[in-house]
Amino acid sequence: MAQPPYDPYGGGYGSDPYGQSYQQPPQVQHHYYGAAPPPNNGLATASMVLGIIGIVFCGFTSILAIIFGHVAQSQIKRTGEGGAGMATAGLVMGYIVTAIWIVIWIFYLGLWAALVGSSATVY
């Protein structure tokens, strides 16, 4: 059996001069950050993105943004996921862009009907 190395200050590591052994007290870890936020709902993200790009795609994706936004809000209420703000943003953008494109389509259909109606003259 090997002997512990010589310690000029007293007993070996883990003992006091009286021969009693002791252990280090357990270390307490302090975590100063909160709990991790819940994951975002994927439909909420999709709703926001589709609402934004609905401006470019003639409002067709805005209809999907409205549908995804309502489904995402119900899932967020049920599961407690994050992304409620994105779902709301998708709904707002979806409704606004859809309304704008409906007005534009009605204007152009009316303009087309007026042009076709005026060109059909009877001789």
Q: Cβ(91)–Cβ(47) under 8 Å?
A: yes
Q: Cα Rg for the chain, rounded, in angstroms?
A: 35
Contacts of 72 (CB under 8 A, 6+ apart): 41, 43, 44, 46, 47, 83, 86, 87, 90
pLDDT at 30 (0 to 100): 72
Q: How confident is the model at residue 117 (pLDDT cuts 50, 70, 90)?
A: confident
Kindly report the average pLDDT of the chain as a whole number. 83
Q: 23-32, 67-76, 104-113 — which one is most confidently predicted on average? A: 67-76
**Residue ranges covered by each domain of the chain:** 42-117
Contacts of 65 (CB under 8 A, 6+ apart): 46, 47, 48, 50, 51, 54, 90, 91, 93, 94, 97
